Amino acid sequence: MEYEINAKRTLGGISPMIYGHFIEHFHRQIYDGIFDPENQLSDGDGFRTDIIEAMKRIRVPIMRWPGGCFVSSYHWRDGVGAVRQPAFDKAWRVEDPNTFGTDEFIKLCRKIGCEPYICTNAGTGTAEEMSDWVEYCNLDNEGKNAKLRIANGYSRPYRVRYWSIGNENYGAWEIGAKSADEWGRLTAESAKMMKHVDPEIELSAAALADINWNVNLLRSCGQYLDWISVHQYWDMMPEVNNPADYGACMAFTSNIGRAVDEVRGILTAMRLEKKIKIAFDEWNLRSWHHPNVHTVVQGKRREDYITPRDKNDDNSTYTMADAVFSACFLNEMIRNCDIVGMANFAPILNTRGCIYSYRDGIVLRGTYYVFMLFTEFMNGEAVDVWGDGEPELMEVTSKSSRRVSVRTVDIAAARTADGGVSVSLVNKHPTDEKTVTLRLPGVFGRAVMYTLNGDSVDSYNDVGREEINVTEREAGDVNGTVSVELDAHSVNILRISKA
Ligand code: AHR
């Protein structure tokens, strides 16, 4: 297969925030996850230092919090101050001790070195409660909310730049679900008040690839918005925990950019594509498993809807399929970098995250290494890649037993700030190695290939088991062209340093 990469044909700047993450008050993401004061591995603030170090190694640029469905009945005042009252979390139907709140979240982001991104309660919340939260975080000392932060011991404002109005308020499963018309009105009033508090903030609002919802939202609130929020999970398992196999996961790559294309079309039709960017602020190949919650079935016992959440912790679920899919997703975001400015892996820790934690340590799942490679090498300016002739296709069977043709190889490229070129090359084929020749006019230098892989498509990492890892090899000199071998089911970064 031959491709041409013209380092002069740029598609746009790659925002570091497309390698962002999300953490929610769900199962063991916060409590018994990152926030575990009793654990010997935790620091004086109660945060797991091993997890923070792992987050720093993948250069987390931005962290979205506190939800997700959780936020749609969350009241931020319950989570600040010396005395925290536990609250019943009506989304996930457990008690939240509220010992982790806004101040702890900001501390966490400072320790990681990432931007905080706060999603507000547009379910049971009001425009006033959302804008009061902005006061608490961003005003120096004007008004009772800034003074409350000072009284809590935090004299300097947090200057939280990124805020989202609501979560998935379009969905019947969401507490405080709204109609399109209701949503347009609420977001407009909330956005107005939040920007009156701090005109410097950047605002997103929950959206989806639905023209009616988005047109209402953008007509009512487009003047205030800087982002439009999109979520997607492909291997849907909320009720039944039956992970798709490798072939079915590759089938999901056939439409990986569809939501971006649809939202881009709506923004363009409304002449907003230069003003509003897409924040793909929840994505993961695998949806979270939490049966009997979104479908509130009466008469269910706790063991019917709490205990099954532990199944998300089965590390054998997260194979090369997750790593290959995630690399294809990030390639798609790179190719759409002119309109996608943020993406948040949902979540970063436990559940379907790239890091799994247990009492005595952590496991780095395959997707962790995708972020390690992409944050190190796939930055700068995205450059155009095109193949000669028709792309090679492979036939796979989808989770719904349909035969689907997908491209065997997925490639994206970047011209980095140091004048080098990085090429992300994914070979989705389950068994066959692929040879790819890249024509790179005007590019000369030394190439190194970083390959993320395991012995089989079903390789995975677990406690005491490291089957997926990154290897590095010299790939020779590049004089305007280079040929590389891509192992089966592998994620590769070809790094060409300028001669
Ligand atoms: O399954 C987790 C949920 O997925 C998040 O809380 C929500 O935002 C999305 O529906």
Domain boundary among 350, 377, 404: 377
Domain contains 8: no
Q: Is the pLDDT of residue 212 over 90?
A: no
Q: Is the pLDDT of residue 296 over 70?
A: no
**Ligand 1 center from residue 56 Cα (angstroms):** 25
Is residue 466 flagged as an active site residue? no
Nearest protein CA to atom 2 of ligand 1, as residue: 288
Atom of ligand 1 nearest to the CA of 287: 1
407 and 312 assigned to the same domain: no
Domain boundary among 377, 394, 411: 377
Confidence bin at 344 (pLDDT 50/70/90): very high
- The pLDDT value given to residue 295: 66
Read off the pLDDT of residues 436-453 as tens digits, 9 standing for 90 and up: 999 999 999 999 999 999
398 and 249 assigned to the same domain: no
DSSP, residue by residue, 406-431: EESEEEEEEE-TTS-EEEEEEE--SS
Domain boundary among 347, 377, 407: 377
Nearest protein CA to atom 4 of ligand 1, as residue: 68
Read off the pLDDT of residues 9-64 as tens digits, 9 standing for 90 and up: 999 999 999 999 999 999 999 999 999 999 999 999 999 999 999 999 999 999 99
279 and 366 assigned to the same domain: yes
Q: Which residues pair with residue 205 across a beta bridge?
A: 165
400 and 450 assigned to the same domain: yes
Confidence bin at 232 (pLDDT 50/70/90): very high
CA distance 69 to 96: 14
**Ligand 1 center from residue 293 Cα (angstroms):** 11
Among 408, 404, 345, 405, residue whose Cα is nearest residue 374: 345
For ligand 1, mutation pick of 167, 230, 289, 295 (most atoms within 8 Å of CB): 167
Is residue 95 flagged as an active site residue? no
Atom of ligand 1 nearest to the CA of 238: 1
CA–CA–CA angle 252, 340, 7 (5° rounding): 95
**Ligand 1 center from residue 69 Cα (angstroms):** 5
CA–CA–CA angle 449, 453, 454 (5° rounding): 150
403 and 492 assigned to the same domain: yes
CA–CA–CA angle 97, 103, 108 (5° rounding): 95
Q: Is the pLDDT of residue 371 over 70?
A: yes
DSSP helix/strand/coil, 220:
helix
369 and 408 assigned to the same domain: no
74 and 185 assigned to the same domain: yes
Nearest protein CA to atom 8 of ligand 1, as residue: 68
Q: Rounded mean pLDDT of 272-290?
A: 97
Read off the pLDDT of residues 51-110 as tens digits, 9 standing for 90 and up: 999 999 999 999 999 999 999 999 999 999 999 999 999 999 999 999 999 999 999 999
**Ligand 1 center from residue 7 Cα (angstroms):** 39
Nearest protein CA to atom 5 of ligand 1, as residue: 68
**Ligand 1 center from residue 68 Cα (angstroms):** 5
Domain contains 261: yes
Domain contains 5: no
Domain contains 478: yes
Confidence bin at 7 (pLDDT 50/70/90): confident
Residue 102 phi, psi dihedral angles, 5° rounding: -55, -45
348 and 428 assigned to the same domain: no
299 and 326 assigned to the same domain: yes
356 and 386 assigned to the same domain: no
Domain contains 475: yes
329 and 404 assigned to the same domain: no
The CATH code of the domain that includes 91 is 3.20.20.80
Confidence bin at 461 (pLDDT 50/70/90): very high
Nearest protein CA to atom 7 of ligand 1, as residue: 68
Among 307, 286, 283, 305, residue whose Cα is nearest residue 295: 305
Task: Give the domain extent around 125.
Answer: 15-377
The CATH code of the domain that includes 419 is 2.60.40.1180
Domain contains 10: no
CB within 8 Å of 311: residues ≥ 6 apart: 241, 289
**Ligand 1 center from residue 204 Cα (angstroms):** 17
Q: How many domains does the chain have?
A: 2
360 and 434 assigned to the same domain: no
Amino acid type, 145: N
Catalytic pick among 24, 129, 135, 168: 168
Ligand 1, pocket residues at CB < 6 Å: 24, 67-69, 167-168, 231, 282, 287-288
Domain contains 6: no
Q: Is the pLDDT of residue 299 over 70?
A: no
Catalytic pick among 104, 282, 332, 381: 282
Domain contains 7: no
pTM: 0.98
Does residue 342 or residue 255 have the better pLDDT? Answer: 342
**Residue 419 CB-density burial (10 A; 0-12 exposed, 13-18 middle, 19+ buried):** middle
